[in-house]
Homo-oligomer: A and B are copies of this chain.
Amino acid sequence: MSNDPGKPMSKTTIYDVKVMFGDCDPAGIVFFPNFSKWMDASSLDFFVQCGILPWRELRKTTGIIGTPLLEIHTKFMRPATYGDLIHVHTSVETWNAKTFVQKHIVKKGDEILCEGRETRAFCIHPEGGRLQAIPVPDFIKDKCC
């Protein structure tokens, strides 16, 4: 059931973040775009944990420059504050022809703080041209599952 929403089509990795004072806003809680920053860091960390080379290396052999974002969708349930240790649980929910959806569940202990989905595409950047999405390479899918 490859399209069963919510069912991961991949391994799940965990990325830890210690919330800093400077991550918080005048309400004393995490300024929400920081959750997007941490999901982005966990997205990259997911591929590294699955054994994919960092983009700056991968580019040399495959031309792939990374996985630019097409869309994000995040629900915020509970706030966090400085000193909190939080965990981003990341997996791939769907592999499409030229895009994929990564799901991030951000937890503090057993509580879910927020949940986000990012739609991304593997891209190459041809000399003199524009960024171009390519089909998700099989060797990458294989390493992630």
Contact = CB atoms under 8 A, between A and B. Distances in A.
A129 interface: no
A22 B48 contact: no
A34 B33 CA distance: 7
A38 B36 CA distance: 14
Interface residues of A, number: 35
A14 to B, nearest CB: 13
Contact of A36 (B32, B44, B56): B32
A40 B32 CA distance: 9
Nearest to A56: B28
Given A25-B25, A69-B76, 5 more contacts: A20-B37, A22-B33, A27-B68, A33-B34, A33-B40
